[in-house]
């Protein structure tokens, strides 16, 4: 077992590693074999306060630091991830049940976002804005918000922590990070260790490992953070948004999805099959952008279904440490039970299981279901695991209606021989992102990432990250004398 699970099983507050003072421990388990990885005494409300106050103190000097000096930290962090890639991979496999393919995918994206953060430190620009008043000079400054609170999920915890933490720091802010209880090391302590070793001044980044049963809403209600960046379910996101609004805080919410991959009548079926299998089953389907639904034109339904089912049957489920494994365990027993219940509910409603995977502990094998009644609630909700619904349609108009028939609007994809037909289709879908002739799962450092409807509020990446973690300040200078009415 990696030393990370012993050395990093602590809180990281004001540049120091220290145990929490709560009355109970979070136990970190390997979701595949149930091995106890770490025991972490939770942080209390007082420690959340300590963390935010430390970030507030440290941010003043950091925000005034030359951005060229700030970016050196991110360059060093990149080098450290390269040096420690093998060990980090093993930690991802152990704590998340992520396969080696998934670990490589996550580490690749972490590097990409860190590279962007190197540049992001230099991105904010001021403006001189004309005034109708003679002699008036209007200066618009882009400044850090101060302190950002980050709440990251369990599915891509290293990436989705770094994706908010690194830009917020690069733009001159302090950060307090609360990782998911199931991934406290990869989503929390590991991030802190990388930045500590990269030379980030103490206090700027703090990690509190805790639970709402202990701290309630203290993390988001605290007066110090001006922005809360949350990635998780729409149910929790709704609560985060409500609390933030009541406390005059900005929230950036990256929430769930119910994406569809659409196969039109002129699609390259073999290619569409490959894209659809990846879109549904990457990281056991525990991806917000995953294709819960695969919609297929009836003219190619038989061919697509036969090839899709055949490919799904080749996906090896088992030990995530085995390089041949494609389907590892889901994160916990609650998730496994929920997925099994979803499959049984679909069958009870009249669906046919073309592939009916078994569940052993947290290992949920792939299932492929077809014939689910059109009014089934299962077609409109997020299914966070290796279960897919195949849905036939007649023509593009029906396909557009079916894709949009969900409260979510995150991602999606359409396959067609005519690119412009695909773009026209994509324009009709109420999502934040949509892809032509590709998978539904994508994230790039420069492209705005986020959803519509219940899939979230706000965007991250590129210029939208600057908007998320900075604010504008108007300073006017009057050259000469103003005239006043009295």
Annotation marks residue 288 as catalytic: yes
Residue 200 has what DSSP assignment?
P
Q: Where are the extended beta strands (E) located within 361-469?
A: 363-364, 367-370, 387-393, 408-409, 412-415, 435-436, 452-453, 456-457
E strand intervals along 341-454: 352-355, 359-360, 363-364, 367-370, 387-393, 408-409, 412-415, 435-436, 452-453
Phi/psi of residue 98, each to 5°?
A: -75, 140
Residues 336 and 455: their CA atoms lie apart, in Å, by 23
Q: Which of 85, 81, 77 is nearest to 198 (CA)?
A: 77
Q: Pick the catalytic residue from 116, 288, 301, 382.
A: 288
Give CA–CA dist 61/78, Å, rounded: 23
Contact between residue 366 and residue 354 where contact means Cβ atoms under 8 Å apart: no
Q: Residues near 383 by Cβ (< 8 Å), separated by ≥ 6?
A: 258, 285, 292, 339, 342
Categorise residue 206: left if φ over 0, alpha if ψ from -120 to 50, beta otherwise: beta
Beta strands in 256-403 (DSSP E): 259-263, 291-297, 352-355, 359-360, 363-364, 367-370, 387-393
- Indicate which residue of 106, 254, 301, 396 is catalytic: 254
The DSSP secondary structure of 269-290, one letter per residue, reads HHHHHHHHHHHHHGGGG--TT-
Contacts with 197 (C-beta within 8 Å, 6 or more apart), sequence order: 76, 80
Between CA 254 and CA 104 the distance in angstroms is 23
| Continuous H helices in 65-99 | 67-83, 85-96
Cα–Cα distance measured from residue 225 to residue 252, given in angstroms and rounded to the nearest whole number? 13
Nearest to 310 by CA among 332, 262, 265, 277: 277
**293's torsion region: left (phi>0), alpha (psi -120 to 50) or beta?**
beta
Residues 6+ apart with CB under 8 A from 431: 259, 409, 410, 411, 412, 451, 452, 455
Cβ neighbours, 10 Å, residue 120: 27
244 a catalytic residue: no
Q: How far is CA 200 from its chain centroid? A: 24
β-pairing verdict for 408-409 and 452-453: antiparallel
**Active-site residue numbers?**
254, 288
């Amino acid at each position: 077992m990696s030393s990370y699970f012993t050395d990093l099983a602590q809180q990281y507050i004001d540049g120091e590693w220290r145990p929490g003072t709560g009355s109970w421990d979070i136990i970190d388990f390997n979701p595949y074999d149930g091995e106890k990885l770490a025991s972490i005494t939770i942080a209390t409300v007082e420690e959340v306060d300590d963390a935010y106050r430390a970030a507030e103190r440290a941010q003043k000097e950091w925000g005034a630091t030359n951005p060229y000096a700030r970016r050196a930290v991110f360059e060093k962090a990149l080098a450290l991830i390269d040096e420690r890639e093998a060990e980090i991979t093993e930690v991802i496999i152990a704590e998340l049940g992520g396969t080696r393919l998934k670990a490589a995918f996550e580490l690749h994206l972490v590097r990409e976002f860190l590279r962007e953060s190197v540049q992001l430190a230099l991105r904010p620009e001021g403006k001189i804005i004309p005034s109708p008043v003679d002699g008036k000079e209007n200066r618009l400054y882009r400044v850090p918000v101060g302190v950002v609170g980050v709440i990251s999920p369990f599915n891509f915890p290293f990436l989705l922590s770094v994706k908010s933490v690194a830009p917020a720091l690069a733009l001159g802010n302090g950060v307090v990070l609360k990782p998911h209880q199931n991934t406290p090391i990869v989503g929390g302590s590991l991030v802190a260790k990388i930045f500590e070793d990269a030379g980030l001044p103490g206090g700027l980044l703090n990690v509190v490992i805790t639970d709402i049963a202990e701290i309630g809403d203290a993390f988001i209600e605290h007066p110090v953070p001006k922005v809360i960046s949350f990635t998780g379910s729409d149910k929790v996101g709704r609560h985060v948004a409500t609390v933030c609004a009541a406390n005059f805080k900005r929230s950036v919410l990256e929430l769930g999805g119910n994406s569809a991959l659409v196969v039109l009548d002129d699609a390259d079926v073999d290619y569409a099959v490959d894209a659809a299998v990846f879109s549904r089953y990457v990281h056991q389907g525990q991806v917000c952008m995953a294709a819960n639904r695969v919609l297929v034109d009836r003219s190619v339904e038989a061919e697509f279904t036969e090839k899709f089912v055949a490919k799904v049957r080749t996906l090896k489920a088992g030990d995530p440490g085995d390089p041949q494994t494609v389907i590892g365990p889901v994160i916990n027993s609650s998730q496994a039970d929920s997925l099994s219940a979803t499959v049984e509910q679909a069958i009870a409603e009249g669906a046919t299981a073309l592939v009916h995977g078994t569940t052993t502990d947290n290992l949920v094998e792939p299932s492929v279901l077809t014939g689910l009644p059109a009014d089934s609630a299962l077609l409109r909700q997020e299914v966070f695991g290796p279960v897919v619904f195949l849905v036939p349609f007649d023509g593009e108009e029906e396909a557009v209606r079916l894709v949009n028939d969900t409260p979510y609007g995150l991602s999606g994809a359409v396959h067609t021989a005519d690119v412009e037909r695909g773009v026209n289709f994509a324009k009709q879908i109420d999502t934040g992102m949509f892809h032509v002739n590709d998978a539904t799962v994508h994230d790039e450092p420069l492209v705005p990432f986020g959803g519509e409807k219940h899939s979230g509020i706000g965007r991250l990446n590129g210029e939208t990250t600057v908007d998320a973690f900075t604010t504008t300040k108007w300073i006017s200078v009057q050259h000469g004398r103003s005239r006043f009415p009295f």
